Amino acid sequence: MKLLRFGPPGQEKPGVLDRENRIRDLSGVIPDISGPTLRDGSLDRLSGLDLEALPLAPAGVRIGPCVGQVGNFIAVGLNYAEHATETDAEIPDEPILFNKAASCIVGPYDDVILPPGSVKSDWEVEIAFVIGKRASYVSEADALGHVAGYCICNDVSEREYQLERGGQWVKGKCCPTFGPIGPWLVTPDEIPDPQNLSLWLEVNGERVQSSSTRTMIFPVAHLVSYISRYMILEPGDLVTTGTPPGVGLGMKPPRFLKPGDVMTLSVEGLGEQRQVVR
């Protein structure tokens, strides 16, 4: 299934795509697509629904973030060797983890707002996953059984804040609108192998990132298992897994986002995003 949330910011309703890619309203069946819904197993009951019997969402309705009430928003740094190389960083021996603030999450077509004084805001197409079952010290063999679904994340990053202001990376990762996710949360039955998906990003129609999840250093199953050694992953937690080469920081000379730029990005099977920079 391709699950989504639609409506004005803060008032999103749960939805699902039908066979004709029309949005069907799930609000009469479940309250939201979120940690509590995942925790109580409500999504398991959706497989038997007659989607054609559900009401259609209004035409042209806004698509919001594909999961709500996110508790932990965890990110993985330098998870593609070529991206580490292009940014003059060492290739990691273990996953690099940091947090993005849940308050930075927006919908896949919402504007990205440059923070005041930003001079080095950058793009990062990534595949992300949402936890569906509590994970603590899980084995790699069992790890994917804890994943509720996959989505696209644009891990927008202010590089001056991230790298030149001291301390941890979170300074450049958490600004409002710096976490577009969606459009869909795609259930694992439609993504049998998350390590064999193409992903790309364009800025103003120019393709700057083009790669495959095959080249990730640490695959999704390893990440679930690894992260669960250091914290409990709860249903609804969101993990974004790192970006391939082609970011603005790695260009020569570096190139960063400016007002009016348009980012378009996609991960195979997970839809497409588009954001205007303001």
pLDDT 10s digits, 87-99: 888 999 999 999 9
One domain, residues 127 and 213: yes
Is residue 30 domain-shared with residue 110, that is, in the same domain?
no
Same domain, 13 and 130: no
Q: Do 86 and 7 fall into the same domain?
A: no
Residues 32 and 113 in one domain: no
Parent domain of 37: 2-53
pLDDT over 90 (residue 168): no
Do 87 and 201 belong to one domain?
yes
pLDDT in tens, 18-44: 999 999 999 999 999 999 999 878 888
> Does 141 share its domain with 45?
no
pLDDT confidence of residue 88: 86
Number of domains in the chain: 2
122 lies in the same domain as 232: yes
Same domain, 148 and 271: yes
Q: Are residues 28 and 158 in the same domain?
A: no
The reported pTM is 0.96
In a domain, 126, yes or no: yes
Q: Is residue 223 part of a domain?
A: yes
Long-range CB contacts (within 8 A, 24+) of 13-17: 13/57, 15/57, 16/46, 16/49, 16/51, 16/54, 17/184
- 34 in a structural domain: yes
145 and 39, same domain (yes or no) = no
- For residue 220, the domain's CATH number is 3.90.850.10
What three-state secondary structure class fits 74? strand
Please report, for residues 38, 123, 157, 240, the alpha-carbon distance to residue 93 in angstroms, rounded to integers and kept in the order given. Answer: 33, 24, 23, 18
Domain contains 62: no
pLDDT single digits (tens) 243-265:
999 999 999 999 999 999 999 99
Q: Residue 84: which pLDDT band, with cuts at 50, 70 and 90?
A: confident
Check whether residue 15 and residue 46 sit in a common domain: yes
